[in-house]
Amino acid sequence: QKEVEQDPGPLSVPEGAIVSLNCTYSNSAFQYFMWYRQYSRKGPELLMYTYSSGNKEDGRFTAQVDKSSKYISLFIRDSQPSDSATYLCAMSASYGGATNKLIFGTGTLLAVQP
């Protein structure tokens, strides 16, 4: 079993829809949770960064972390064709106060249809 599980999609939605992307994980030591967006043949771009449980909102993006269920989500409101990309969840533990290596999901390919 992988430490981080993510539905690879592809996920196709009409423009303006609300998108929900999810990851589950098995390592209870994970405390830092990130979502990256990756366009084809480009490096991952950081979208959201969350420490421990709770919600965080940034514009059209909302990240949720439920540590009790080991489940994280990213919601995209009013989705746009420019949101079409692969979305990667990533998480890390902390040892000695320092963030450890990131463990990634496989990524979900999102297509927003105009």
Partner 1 sequence: DTGVSQDPRHKITKRGQNVTFRCDPISEHNRLYWYRQTLGQGPEFLTYFQNEAQLEKSRLLSDRFSAERPKGSFSTLEIQRTEQGDSAMYLCASSRMSTEAFFGQGTRLTVV
Q: Using H for helix, E for strand and C for coil, what is the string for 43-102?
A: CCEEEEEEECCEEEEECCEEEEEECCCCEEEEEECCCCHHHCEEEEEEEECEECCEECCC
Residue from 85, 90, 110, 112 in contact with partner 1 (CB under 8 A): 90
**Interacting span for partner 1 (CB under 8 A) from 14-22, 67-75, 76-84, 94-102:** 94-102
Q: Are 103 and 5 in contact (CB under 8 A)?
A: no
- Quick note: the x/- pattern for partner 1 over 20-39, rule CB under 8 A, is ------------x-x-x---
Point out which residues bind partner 1 (CB under 8 A).
4, 6, 8, 32, 34, 36, 41-46, 49, 88, 90, 94, 97-99, 101-107
